[in-house]
Structure 1
């Protein structure tokens, strides 16, 4: 049914609630390639508060390393279930990174959990899922997590 499923994750337990649905889809038909994607925005401070300049590691380097480690741990769990999983970390705004990757890699499906913000939260933070829906031709599986 699907050959390549893109699963954007932000490191939160809410975002990870998409994973059981991805597992279920992977069991139907041929096993698709699953790519776990983490987007790291550039807007992070240059210095980590409370650290001396002798001990400061470039914050972006640390964020990228942490993002990759998180995705690799998550991928290892899925691989242990026999799934084909790749990971990708992009330095971009999440919606832009997801759409760019989906278009470039020609994914068949974007599977994502929405944080389900409404009202003021949506106004202030925006909806990554909504932006993706407007920018990509790829079909989407959107799950509202249980809180």
Structure 2
């Protein structure tokens, strides 16, 4: 019965063979499961439905992994990362900029692509700025 609603969606569920890598950086200490259910699944679904790519996972950015640990003996979590494989970078950027604030992205959220990034200040996006984080 449900198959009648899925016509045409099977190809959208496959990861693209040709894509440009992008990274969405969300500042703060966010649990990987929270990152996944709060941001990743929604961004992935929207990118796939629009034919702009997919969100293929993510990670956590720590400060001080190779340096001295903080006073509690743990590394500080700086941000979480969403990996995006974009088949259309401009379209994916626009879609991500639309949906991340709706999903509760905090000020300081970055959409990184190539040598540039779009930065959310909590109210508006600043587009095409040089990357503020060079290596993730």
TM-score interval, smaller chain: 0.3 to 0.5
* TM-score, structure 2 normalization: 0.32
> Using CA pairs below 8 Å that are at least 6 residues apart, which structure has the higher relative contact order?
1
Larger strand fraction of residues: 2
* TM-score, structure 1 normalization: 0.31
